[in-house]
């Protein structure tokens, strides 16, 4: 069993009260599953991704439990998490370009990181070199400063460092958004390769770019305004989405081959609600073309088809009728 998240709720503390950034998130990842996490800005992607590894103020743990490989992870305990970070759960941060210490040679920095986790650098060196080969980086990088590497090289270096201790869960936060298309493709394929070689068990790819998830993810989780909207295998999300938000989102994506003169794409009218005081019931209600009275209550996140979870009353009713 890979990752299991139950009823995870995380708020942001602000002077004007708690921002309800993530509420009642429950989902599971099967062994080896690569899950994409997508949604608009302010939908709760970072709170979900980060609370699994670094839950520091202003983030505030409210409720929920997280299990990795059947073992409960104390995400509310910043100190206690040190046992799990890097070894069990690891992160490739956004802006990986700036993630490395600029005044240490890369090899020395990795040595210090490993020492902090009680691992000997010399023992790891052969494996480290093998992995550098895998991402086509020369071994000399270990003797270089981060400034001597190009953006794509730094990104690959950080990927190697983050996955060095074979964590069970790796979280990749917007790692491809600053890269050129050719490098983007190479980096994305390397992540899949890491999974194939069992360096990592589960991978969560946080991104706003759904087309890249279509290329590498097994399943996609769509979030809206701090709650889960839909989770399904990648093919189902792209080809037969069920949540009205997912449907509108997918149909608003311009693709190679679509031209304005022939087909005018539509955006989603309105804006996401402010999470300081979100509306009761379904949070997509105000922008949803299908909304009706029942949407004043919060819809449950239920499995309507095999591995296909949706939080929408319409789907709930269709599903109840079908049974």
Q: Are residues 51 and 61 in contact, defined by beta-carbon separation less than 8 angstroms?
A: yes
CB count in 10 Å sphere of residue 111? 19
Interaction mask 28-57, another protein, x per CB under 8 A = ------------xx----------------
Q: Residue 88: in which H helix or E strand, if any?
A: none
Nearer CB in complex with another protein: 209/307: 209
For residues 302 and 272, give the distance between their C-alpha atoms in angstroms, rounded to a whole number.
23
Task: Provide the minimum distance between the beta carbon of 125 and another protein in the complex, in angstroms, as a whole number.
Answer: 25
Nearer to another protein, 254 or 300 (CB): 254
Buried b (16+ CB within 10 A) or exposed e, 17-49: ebbbbbbbbbbbbeeebbbbbbbbebbbbbbbb
Contact between 16 and another protein per CB under 8 A: no
Distance, CA of 182 to CA of 186 (rounded, Å): 6
- Segment contacting another protein (CB under 8 A): 124-132, 160-168, 179-187, 294-302? 179-187
Q: How far is the CB of 13 from another protein (least distance, A)?
A: 18
CA angle 112-118-123, nearest 5°?
Answer: 80
Binding residues for another protein restricted to 242-301, rule: CB under 8 A: 248-250, 252-260, 264-268, 271
Do 190 and 134 contact (CB within 8 A), yes or no? yes
Query: How do 34-38 and 202-206 pair as beta strands?
Result: parallel
Comparing CB distances to another protein, the nearer of 245 and 301 is 245
Taking contact as CB under 8 A, which single stretch among the options 55-63, 116-124, 166-174, 211-219 is the one that binds another protein? 211-219
Backbone angles phi, psi at 274, to 5 degrees: -75, 135
Q: Which is nearer to another protein, 90 or 246 (CB)?
A: 246
Q: Could you say whether residue 215 binds another protein (CB under 8 A)?
A: yes
Binding string, residues 117-146; x marks residues near another protein by CB under 8 A: ------------------------------
CA distance 130 to 11: 41
Residues of this chain, 187-206, that bind another protein according to CB under 8 A: 188-189
The binding site for another protein (CB under 8 A) comprises: 40-41, 151, 180-182, 184-186, 188-189, 208-212, 214-215, 238, 248-250, 252-260, 264-268, 271
């Amino acid at each position: 069993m890979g990752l299991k998240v139950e009823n995870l709720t995380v708020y942001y503390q602000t002077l004007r009260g708690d921002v309800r950034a993530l509420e009642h998130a429950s989902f599971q990842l099967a062994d080896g599953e690569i899950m994409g996490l997508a949604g608009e800005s302010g939908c709760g992607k970072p709170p979900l991704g980060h609370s699994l590894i670094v839950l520091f103020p202003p983030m505030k743990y409210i409720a929920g439990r997280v299990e990795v490989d059947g073992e409960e992870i104390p995400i509310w305990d910043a100190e206690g998490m040190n046992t799990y970070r890097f070894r069990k759960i690891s992160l490739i941060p956004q802006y990986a370009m700036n993630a490395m210490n600029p005044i240490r040679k890369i090899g020395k920095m990795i040595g210090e990181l490993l020492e902090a986790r009680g691992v000997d650098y010399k023992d790891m060196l052969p494996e480290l070199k093998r992995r550098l080969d895998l991402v086509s980086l020369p071994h000399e990088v270990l003797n270089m400063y981060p400034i001597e590497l190009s953006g794509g090289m730094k990104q690959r270096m950080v990927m190697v460092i983050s996955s060095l201790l074979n964590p069970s869960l790796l979280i990749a936060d917007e790692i491809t958004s600053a890269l050129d298309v050719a490098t983007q493709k190479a980096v994305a394929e390397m992540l899949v390769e890491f999974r194939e070689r069992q360096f990592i068990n589960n991978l969560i790819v946080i991104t706003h770019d759904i087309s890249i998830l279509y290329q590498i993810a097994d399943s996609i989780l769509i979030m809206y305004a701090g709650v889960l909207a839909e989770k399904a295998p990648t093919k189902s999300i792209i080809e037969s989405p069920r949540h009205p938000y997912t449907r509108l989102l997918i149909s608003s994506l311009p693709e190679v081959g679509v031209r304005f003169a022939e087909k005018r794409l539509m955006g989603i009218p309105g804006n996401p609600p402010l999470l300081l005081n979100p509306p009761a019931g379904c949070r997509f209600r105000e922008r949803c073309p299908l909304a009706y009275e029942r949407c004043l209550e919060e819809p449950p996140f239920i499995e309507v088809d095999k591995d296909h979870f949706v939080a929408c009353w319409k789907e709930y009713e269709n599903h109840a009728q079908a049974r």
